Amino acid sequence: MSPSQRMPLVLRLALIATVMAVIFVVDTTTRYEVAAAVFYTVVVLTAVRLVGRTALLLLCAACIVLTVASLVLTPHGDLRSGLVNMGISIAAIVMTTWLALKMEAARAAAHEAQAQLLRITRITSLEGLTTSIAHEVNQPLAAIVTSGNACQRWLAQDAPNLERARQALERILADAGRASGIIARVRSLTRGEPPQRAPFDLDEAVREVVELSQANIAMHHIVLSLELAGTLPPALADRVQVQQVVGNLLLNAIEALLPVAPAARRLRLASCSEDGMLLLCVEDTGVGLAPGMIDHLFDAFWTSKDEGIGVGLSISRAIVEANGGRIWAEPGARGGAVFRFTLPVADGEAAA
């Protein structure tokens, strides 16, 4: 790296050191009651993209040492208040460092998910498959970006909201794992490998998918109705693959609602137990199904969309059937369309 390329980094590190010195001087020369040391959290947030994990931990330790030194050197004020402020400042520094490291780990996980997607794209010549995988992974990756931006906003406040930032980071880690899981499951499906079936709570899995789509639903002024049973026995299926199906049906329903007037946009998800199987229903009041469409909806490469390729519902059917269920569609009673699919119930031995 040339000196001109190194110079911006050197200047930024020098600026960080200067800010730390200013915070130390202010914290030392003011009364115990002034908790200037909490602004070391800004230093940590600034440095997280510039240095590695070890250097960031050393920076955290340096900030803590400076905080303690300021308490010792402060000449006046209420010592008890100073001790309380020192404890709060150190806790904020440590928590901010932990959150910053988790945020970088989440970003790395997201990049790994994207890298896996690119590797799959290189080894397949079937455009429909790669587009379908990208379509399925797009939801968790979009959620990662949204949660990451929210986390940065919470941490950048004058008084960082550490709890909200921690919650955002937990969502990032969960969505990054979900993206990687989706890629692995779709790849297994195309290779003809059996799904990884295990007992899980269908209603909980549906809620997770709906949460990822909340921003899209709200943006298009769609009224969502969740009528989940809440008392269903566990489903016996591949949870990630089932969530792929729910996400695809949900996205199709949202797209079908866009051409209708905002006041008429209704989306309903309901679950129940029927004939020894679990049943999930996704109903919309969108443009509906034209005559003859139902016979071809789940055919590979058949689509009614101008820019569609017709693989989403085909893969959804393959997933549901591979997990021992059935999927079908019918016109809605109030217009629009209704998609339903079933899953087997986990017996006592499997659930245990």
| pLDDT tens sequence across 240-260 | 888 888 888 888 888 889 988
Angle at which helices 79-123 and 40-47 cross, to 10°: 20
Evaluate whether 131 touches 309 at the Cβ level (below 8 Å): yes
Per CATH, domain 198-351 is 3.40.980.10: no
Q: Would you give the end-to-end CA distance of the chain in angstroms?
A: 58
Residue 132 clears pLDDT 60, i.e. is over it: no
CA distances from 184 to 6, 241, 245 (A): 40, 10, 15
Read off the tokens for 29: 């020369």
pLDDT 10s digits, 265-320: 999 999 999 889 999 999 999 887 776 666 667 765 445 544 443 456 777 888 89
- The neighbour count for residue 61, using CB atoms within 10 Å, is 13
Query: No. of H helices and E strands in the chain?
Result: 10, 7
Task: Check residue 307 and give its pLDDT.
Answer: 45
Residue 344: pLDDT band (50, 70, 90) is: very high
Read off the tokens for 216: 């899209």
Query: What is the chain's percent helix, strand, coil content, to nearest 5?
Result: 60, 10, 25
pLDDT 10s digits, 53-87: 888 888 889 898 998 888 888 877 778 888 888 88
Burial of 86 (0-12, 13-18, 19+ CB in 10 A): buried
Residue 325 clears pLDDT 90, i.e. is over it: yes
Listed by start position, the domains of the chain span 3-186, 198-351
Contacts of 309 (CB under 8 A, 6+ apart): 127, 128, 131, 132, 301, 303
Q: Quick one: which of 133, 131, 141 has its CA closest to 110?
A: 141
3-state secondary structure of 193: coil
